[in-house]
Structure 1
């Protein structure tokens, strides 16, 4: 029994062609075609074939979606299953509900026999969505094109098979389940849903992320055996030869007006075992460029002008794309993309990369979860080391705000991914997904569902035992004025205002674990400052930073902003993050009442608000 949902008169040839095809192929079965004078689709969705209706389609928030069309939108009138039951299906030995783009898999027992032989007369059918790697004919996709499934998404589609005479009269037939009857079991892999037939699109990537697709041997065999198909196969690739594993450990970063903080950051990361740093800068006015050019001449870094304007990209994204072409990146053994306010804090062994790698010898990716370090109520800029000044931070268990558990990734340069990314490499080569050995900061494996696009840890994946990324996002209140004036290298259109300070300034507890590396850092820093030109460049940046602070504090708007940053209210809020729900951080500090701010940080309480309709900064 086939439900023909076409608008009356729209496809009169369908029944005729169906009947002719049945005769031509000698099909020994009866086919009943049902039609409707009323549209049966949902009123809130576009035509079903549109990629927006494809369950795994990426970028739905950016799609140009046509208006709803109930003649062609996904089925919304589920009562049609009761109508079909009354039209004769109630007398059948067994009934399976699948779609015209579904094919039942072959097994020892048919799903009809399985349903008849159960106590309830009902089994659940769990299908898997499948896809072509590439369509040979975009206008006419075929079953034989589909040879792929998603390695990180089971893509379950639920249907049922029922023996009508064995179930209660109270049973109600619906789209994905039978009401008032508990199934006796389920058959996983009962069918495949050939998704490009339901959602034909010019490109497979419009209905599924191609970085998730891997070949399925059952589908390949079926394509060749049933249809004599020759589908386009997934290209085979191998890991990059290990010759480059003798290369360096490389940091890629972008900066703007970070002069006072460069030397400490560079000295620290040299002390823990990084070999090379490539820095992209733009529009600097505090001597950052001069410092980096000097450091390049001395062999400490590679400095590049950021080509973001020519590339039409945000500065950080332009830097990462450009860095991919650099020889020191291409030949690197390990790569990470971190900012000058982020310090890799290795907590095992002697605090070096060698110690970390010794603890996770099989890992080729290490997620370093942020630990947000606040200003610790330090208001005035001081040139002493950041990692020494700021010791107050978020608790380890701080799932909100969502930025608190963002991570950066240290990864082996072996060709698992196609390009660099802000938080992790991007563009997974799905053929190599089984070669990914990604661990968290405690050395625990991360699930495959994170491989393609995750950028933050969760309650099940965060870890700080071996390594964490100390994130000094605010530093002193005075330095934050300069940071706000400078703008961001990624979200260039977002102001770093009071809401940003509220989210990132976390002073709940003390963590001095990085302090043991101060002697090694100072040793490297002293080597740098022994060079009189480097010392002079550093002094110049310090002077520019102080001058900029004075200029900004002389402005009424920034003076008022500084007063808010250093207020007792904001200092109290920096102790309470673990008590707030996500909507508090999305809404801003103004939504927290004074009586809540007065609560004890160490007490057991929780506060949240309704989602506010505000623009995030």
Structure 2
């Protein structure tokens, strides 16, 4: 074994802290610090120790008990060092033998404090070097969570000090007791990575308190009294964290200058695009951040003398101080180092990653090698005048509604329709086969069984291989009960594209249209029959502001999705111009996973998506019997009708397009075969309604749908909170139902499990 030279040995100190029984309790540490006013004692108890169990006895004075994250730091005092320190624990008097505080080790030094949880000596040395050379760190205290300490790590750090001549002191502390949560797996597992995809499907290893996320919240206050209270400044960072390069004063100087004596450190998660060596990740590998995740990690830098004795050091903040908003500094948390041994794709969706120039520069200048860069992708060439539009949709037993829907969307300018069907019994397939023969649609059998997917997901996975999708300039995935209601210009797609002025993605927010108290099925245009709907500012249920996205087929995303395309190509992020239905830009935070609008992003001025989710009560019986194309396991029962049947107000804006739709519909029906196929679908629909209504349970269900209670509720839904829609219509008391509600009235119930 190589032995560090004496000069390095004097700069590297090891401290072995050992827990001990104290009465029936466990004492993690007891620290004494003598001053002009006697001897101050801090006794540290683990998480779960009740504060009421602790009291003073004999000549010992109890000054206070701080409960920090469930652990205790008990402040005591005795007149002098020779006085016995006694405590009353659980009613029994016990004697405490404190050890002397070693705060002089860091007196006057800019100090880093970190916890080691398996990090290598090479990683730790790089971390120290970066913060010494770029930020003025002079010393470090590293608490090593290895059981009883790691001699090999300590030896390697002793050797590394030869390359860190400016580091005046390094203290390695270890314990004989685990500090992690006893119920959690190792902190390095991706289940603890905040951005990791598919965590619900992960099977983590068994709990391990030696490596699990920290469970002793009092640790930093403990280290403060044991070692750090005389430091000039202390910066709390993990061994995978790098302070960002910044001009001007260092974080240490800024903490001493801050009126509060504290500055907040805010961290972003940093990732490699690709690792050079998956078994040995390094700081230089990290060149990317998630574009849609703001800084979310909190640490701190404190000047102990300035912050004062009333401040309390916690893991993510120093309480008792109030840093001003300007008193903050940035850092990067290098996630491949925090979660070693796992591919980048297990830690973060790569579709969220963009290069961060500060990280790329840091890798080159501080660590001597650039990260492996993202592949460059040439921006797409878009012809603004090319606007061929295609709809991709799935259907099952929608025969009576197909022609109206096609006629309407052909009238507003949709040229192509790719329609997948499955298990139809009402003539839908015959109708679509005729339409395909005449070049009006492309009809495909849904491959969901062979693919092992839900019907809608299978269709969207198969559709990108179709020529009609390749040929489209614009695409949207929508259903036959949804109508693009364009309010711009003459109501056509041409007018919409002109009004959106260069947008290449348009999210069209649902406006939920109810049954308008229409119970019977009529072979008449849906948009003409059902004109009552939710108010524009209907925040709940959460489905009320779902959207479907009309997007340029230019490679910004790799896959089709139900509500919006998926699989963002991050290199093209800056080329995306995504707007809402009023033409206002959507925030980037919505680019990867949003499926609904919010109060800040909803807009209906130029386009909305009229969603006729229920139609008439009799047609709803057929819809319920048919089942859903996505959530196939969920019953479309009374709770669904309650959520989706909105009749609060009238919106007739789409009716101006009925003449154009009727012209196109007449053109289609002029074909005798199509006309006959439509009539057959209508007849099958009516027959199915009759069959269902003859069944006692369906008859009772229909009676509930059409009764006065549900009719009245359909005009009140804007007054209810989320939990009401989860609980169902029976959760609303008669007193609320019968009241004359004021505009600002709000009613909700306690949270319940969702009902399908």
The TM-score bracket by the shorter chain reads over 0.9
Shift of 1:57: 2.0
Structure 1 residues 429, 199: CA separation in 2 closer, same or farther (over 3 Å shift)?
A: same
Tell me, yes or no, if the aligned pair for 1:127 and 1:188 is still in contact at 8 Å: no
Shift of 1:335: 0.6
The equivalences for 1:256-267 within 5 A come to 256-267=396-407
106-115 or 412-421, which deviates more: 106-115
Say whether 1:483 aligns with 2:620. Answer: no
Q: From 152, 169, 189, give the equivalent of 1:13.
A: 152
Higher strand share: 2
Identify the residue that residue 753 of structure 2 maps to in structure 1.
613
Cα distance in 1 for residues equivalent to 2:457 and 2:264: 47
Structure exhibiting the larger radius of gyration computed from Cα positions: 2
Say whether 1:182 aligns with 2:322. Answer: yes
- TM-score relative to the length of structure 2: 0.79
Cα distance in 1 for residues equivalent to 2:579 and 2:276: 39
The equivalences for 1:108-127 within 5 A come to 108-127=248-267
Cα distance in 1 for residues equivalent to 2:401 and 2:555: 33
Identify the residue that residue 378 of structure 1 maps to in structure 2.
518
Cα distance in 2 for residues equivalent to 1:526 and 1:22: 86
Count how many residue pairs are aligned between Structure 1 and Structure 2. Answer: 616
The equivalences for 1:447-486 within 5 A come to 447-486=587-626
Tell me, yes or no, if the aligned pair for 1:324 and 1:419 is still in contact at 8 Å: yes
Q: SS in structure 2 opposite 1:300?
A: coil
The equivalences for 1:4-403 within 5 A come to 4-9=143-148, 11-23=150-162, 26=165, 28-107=167-246, 108-184=248-324, 186=326, 188-242=328-382, 246=386, 248-403=388-543
Shift of 1:186: 4.6
Cα distance in 2 for residues equivalent to 1:158 and 1:355: 48
Shift of 1:12: 3.3
Shift of 1:265: 0.2
Shift of 1:189: 4.8
Tell me, yes or no, if the aligned pair for 2:144 and 2:172 is still in contact at 8 Å: no
1:111-158 superposed Cα distances (whole Å, 9 cap, x missing partner): 111122233322122222211112222222111110001111123322
1:400-426 superposed Cα distances (whole Å, 9 cap, x missing partner): 000010000011111100011110010
Cα distance in 1 for residues equivalent to 2:324 and 2:717: 47
77-86 or 23-32, which deviates more: 23-32
Shift of 1:43: 3.7
1:69-118 superposed Cα distances (whole Å, 9 cap, x missing partner): 22211122122212222223111121111111112233332211112223
Shift of 1:9: 4.2
Shift of 1:242: 2.8
CA RMSD of aligned residues (A): 1.7
Q: SS in structure 2 opposite 1:370?
A: strand
Q: SS in structure 2 opposite 1:367?
A: strand
Cα distance in 2 for residues equivalent to 1:92 and 1:9: 26
1:3-41 superposed Cα distances (whole Å, 9 cap, x missing partner): 434342473322222212223655642100111222222
Cα distance in 2 for residues equivalent to 1:189 and 1:281: 56
Q: Structure 2 unaligned runs (5+)?
A: 1-139
Say whether 1:590 aligns with 2:730. Answer: yes
Structure 1 residues 420, 232: CA separation in 2 closer, same or farther (over 3 Å shift)?
A: same
1:497-530 superposed Cα distances (whole Å, 9 cap, x missing partner): 1111111111111111111111000000000011
Identify the residue that residue 425 of structure 1 maps to in structure 2.
565
- TM-score relative to the length of structure 1: 0.97
Q: Structure 1 unaligned runs (5+)?
A: none
Tell me, yes or no, if the aligned pair for 1:244 and 1:333 is still in contact at 8 Å: no
